[in-house]
Amino acid sequence: MTELLLIAIGSALVNNVVLSQFLGLCPFLGVSKKTETAAGMGVAVIFVITIASACTSLIYDYILVKLGIEYLQTIVFILVIAALVQFVEMFLKKYMVSLYQALGVYLPLITTNCAVLGVALTNVQKGYNLIESVVNGIGISGGFTISIILLSGVREKIEHNDIPHVFKGSPIVLITAGLMSLAFFGFSGLI
Amino acid sequence: MNKCVERIYNGIIKENPTFVLMLGMCPTLATTTSAINGLGMGLSTTAVLMFSNLLISALRNIIPDRVRIPAFIVVVASLVTVVQLLIQGYLPSLYDSLGIYIPLIVVNCIILGRAEAYAAKNGPVESFFDGVGMGLGFTCSLTIIGMFRELLGAGAVFGHQIIPEQFHISIMILAPGALFTLAILSAIQNKLKLPSATNGDAPKSALACGGDCLSCQGCTGMMNHAVLAEKKAEEVAAAAAAKKAAAEKALAAKKAAEAAKAAEAEKTN
């Protein structure tokens, strides 16, 4: 149990997926203009990454290792993730209309988000079993959600501030993200 | 031959994927901790890009349009696996320092972007040289960013110590340094009004999304490029329809005015 908790905290805060590993940077900078959309994106990412890490972990353990074709992992994972996102979208559209209306817009955006493939590959690299993979997935996507909501909050405030003309637009957002990344360094003593 | 040289010039200077189009930001930030890492990442991406462009261009008439994106992904993923195994076998130290970012070349938007925007429409030779140009552009920018960060953060260039240790700003080779470097780069581009996707006067990229990763909603989501392209086409069609309607209206108004004039002329007669 403590081990699982350590994995979750480690992947959510200490090795934050965006701020220290730069995976999923595009939606992090692109969808963080408003807190509302950032939260929607975050929840969609948690949803997809958790399901994807469970599926890829099962496929790796029970198909790729059994057949001795571990070297095909990149190809298999990217196709599984792409198919999975399409499937989740169709499933939500048919059976969970309210959830689809909340998350539907964000799902196609995550299809080949590098964070999803990144989680699947990290799980394999670290030799996690099914439960550890799912916990790692929740931790990583939780870390993504925390940082995107924090950044969107800061960006809403920045809108009304007096920024040098040259730094308007993307430079100030990048500096904000850099300072957040610096702050997240404080977590490195946690484990 | 001229066309091939033009493609290489286009990739390195005119449409440089990092400095101008702002594509593939994740590997740019993550692997430029030193010049040699940036160079390694750039060259691996170049190798994948060259051959994926060549293969996709050669297969472009065989692949059905509806399954084109999954087919491209399979081609790219196979090439990435080949490159990964070669690096693991022959350059183990580079493999250790790049780690997870080698398999993640699959989701680098430059590769699928070039496949979609260039290789799917042009011949194999030109596509190959387009891949060489774009790849070298990416390599050059990654090496330059890597050199800059290594010089400030570790006081070295390609591992040769230049600045004594007490002057190192070690934050520059850590994660925040990458974001600060990119912020300063982007601010300089704003100041000098250089063409860049972040200040809105980049040469219009052939990508449906316009090729601006920093304000993008899902850059690697090439799946939604088809949707975006459709939307764009719809918008164009709607604009054309509106223009037509306006023209018709103007014509009708002109006719009515003429008729009124004629009627008035008749009346005075």
pLDDT recorded at residue B210: 46
CA distance A114 to A56: 15
**Closest to A74 (Cβ–Cβ): which among B77, B99, B199?**
B77
Q: Please indicate, yes or no, whether residues B48 and B159 belong to a single structural domain of this protein.
A: yes
Sign of the alpha-carbon dihedral angle for A125, B39, A140, A11: positive
pLDDT tens digits, B238-256? 888 888 888 888 888 888 8
B161 three-class SS: strand
Q: Is residue B185 domain-shared with residue B266, that is, in the same domain? A: no
Asked if the Cβ–Cβ distance from B224 to A21 is below 8 Å, we say: no
User: Residue B169 above 80 pLDDT?
Assistant: yes
| pLDDT in the model for residue A150 | 93
Question: What single-letter DSSP state applies at residue B164?
Answer: -
- Answer for the pair B100, A124: CB distance below 8 angstroms, yes or no: no
* Helix intervals (H) in B2-123: 2-9, 25-30, 35-58, 68-90, 92-98, 109-114
Q: Are residues B213 and B256 in the same domain?
A: no
Tell me what the mean pLDDT of segment A100-126 comes to: 79
Asked if A151 and A180 touch (Cβ cutoff 8 Å), the reply is: yes
Amino acid A94 reads K
Structure tokens at B65: 């349009």
Q: How far apart are CA B131 and CA B8, in angstroms?
A: 8
Last residue of a domain, one of B185, B203, B220: B220
Of B46, B86, B3, B172, residue with least CA distance to A181: B172
Pair B128, B247 in one domain: no
- Residue B195 and residue B127 in one domain: yes
pLDDT of residue B223: 43
Q: Are residues B154 and B56 in the same domain?
A: yes
Q: Do A178 and B100 touch (CB under 8 A)?
A: no
Structural domain boundaries enclosing B159: 3-220
Residue A149 CB coordination number (10 Å)? 16
Partners of residue A175 in chain B, C-beta under 8 Å = 179-180, 183
Comparing alpha-carbon positions, the chain A residue that sits nearest to B200 is: A169
Phi, psi angles (nearest 5°) of residue B149: -70, -40
pLDDT of B214:
46
Which span out of A15-29, B12-26, B83-97 was modeled with the highest average pLDDT?
A: B83-97
Confidence band (pLDDT; 50, 70, 90) for B216?
very low
DSSP state string for A88-99 = HHHHHHHH-HHH
Q: pLDDT digit string (tens) for A37-54?
A: 888 888 888 888 999 999
Instruction: State how far the Cα of B35 lies from the Cα of B12, in Å rounded to an integer.
Output: 18
Mean pLDDT taken over chain A: 86
Per-chain mean pLDDT for chain B:
82
Phi, psi (rounded to 5 degrees) for B84: -60, -45
pLDDT above 50 for B206: no
Model confidence at A151: pLDDT above 90 = yes
Return the pLDDT at B229. 57
Among the partner residues B70, B106, B216, nearest to A74 by beta-carbon distance: B106
Helix H or strand E segment including A3: helix A2-9
- How many structural domains comprise chain B? 2
Contacting residues of B for A174, CB less than 8 Å apart: 179-180, 182-183, 186, 214
Q: B248 and B215, same structural domain?
A: no
Do B173 and B246 lie in a common domain?
no
Q: Tell whether B174 and B263 lie within a shared domain.
A: no
Shared domain for B201 and B229, answered yes or no, is: no
pLDDT higher for B243 or B226?
B243
List chain B residues with CB under 8 Å of A75. Answer: 74, 77-78, 81
| Pair B95, B170 in one domain | yes
Helix/strand/coil for B122: coil
pLDDT by residue (tens digit) across B68-115? 888 888 999 999 999 999 999 999 999 998 888 999 898 888 888 888
3-state secondary structure of A87: helix
Mean pLDDT across the stretch A77-98? 85
Instruction: Please state, as a whole number, how many other Cβ atoms lie within 10 Å of the Cβ of residue B247.
Output: 10
Q: Do A109 and B224 touch (CB under 8 A)?
A: yes
In this structure, what token pair is assigned to residue A28?
Answer: 């992090």
Q: Which comes out higher in pLDDT, residue A186 or B223?
A: A186
- Cβ proximity of B232 and B208 under 8 Å: yes
Can you tell me the mean pLDDT for B153-175?
87
Give the closest residue to B105 by CA, choosing from B50, B44, B156.
B44
| Closest-CA distance of chain B to residue A121, Å | 7
B269 shares a domain with B205? no
The encoded tokens of residue B2 equal: 């001229």
Whether B219 and A29 lie within 8 Å, measured CB to CB: no
**ipTM field:** 0.86
Structure token digits, residue B118:
């260039």
Q: Is the pLDDT of residue B224 over 50?
A: no
pLDDT at position B48, please? 94
Top-confidence range, A58-72, B158-172, B214-228: A58-72
Query: Cβ(A112)–Cβ(B223) under 8 Å?
Result: yes
Average pLDDT over residues A90-114: 76
Model confidence pLDDT, tens digit, residues A138-149: 999 999 999 999
